[in-house]
Amino acid sequence: MMNLSNRRVSFTALLLALLVLSPPAVAHPHVWVEAREEVMFDPGGKVTGIRSTWRFDEMYSAFAVQGLEKDGKVASPKDLAPLAETNISSLAEFDYFTFAKNGGVVMKFGKPIDYTLEEQADHRVVLRFTLPLATPTKIVRFLTFQIYDPTYFVDFELAAKDPVTLTGAPSGCSQSVLGPNPLLVQDGMKLAQTFDSGAQPGQDFAVKMASRAVIACP
The model's pLDDT over 12-22, given as tens digits with 9 standing for 90+, comes to 445 544 444 33
**Alpha-carbon distance 76 to 63, whole Å?**
15
Q: Higher pLDDT residue, 200 or 6?
A: 200
Q: Which residues contact 172 (CB under 8 A, 6 or more apart)?
A: 217, 218
pLDDT at 95: 92
Three-state secondary structure call for residue 205: helix
Q: How confident is the model at residue 205 (pLDDT cuts 50, 70, 90)?
A: low
Q: Which domain covers residue 76, as residue numbers?
A: 4-216
**Alpha-carbon distance 95 to 114, whole Å?**
17
The model's pLDDT over 147-163, given as tens digits with 9 standing for 90+, comes to 998 877 788 999 999 99
The model's pLDDT over 33-91, given as tens digits with 9 standing for 90+, comes to 999 999 999 999 999 999 999 999 999 898 888 888 777 789 889 989 988 998 898 88
Is-contact 205 191, C-beta < 8 A? yes
Q: What whole-number percentage of the chain has pLDDT above 90? A: 51
Q: What is the count of structural domains for the chain? A: 1
Q: Higher pLDDT residue, 27 or 70?
A: 70
pLDDT at 19: 47
Between the alpha carbon of residue 201 and those of residues 23, 34, 146, 208, the distances in Å are 14, 22, 18, 11
| pLDDT of 188 above 80 | no
**At residue 64, what are phi and psi to the nearest 5 degrees?**
-60, -35
Q: How confident is the model at residue 189 (pLDDT cuts 50, 70, 90)?
A: low
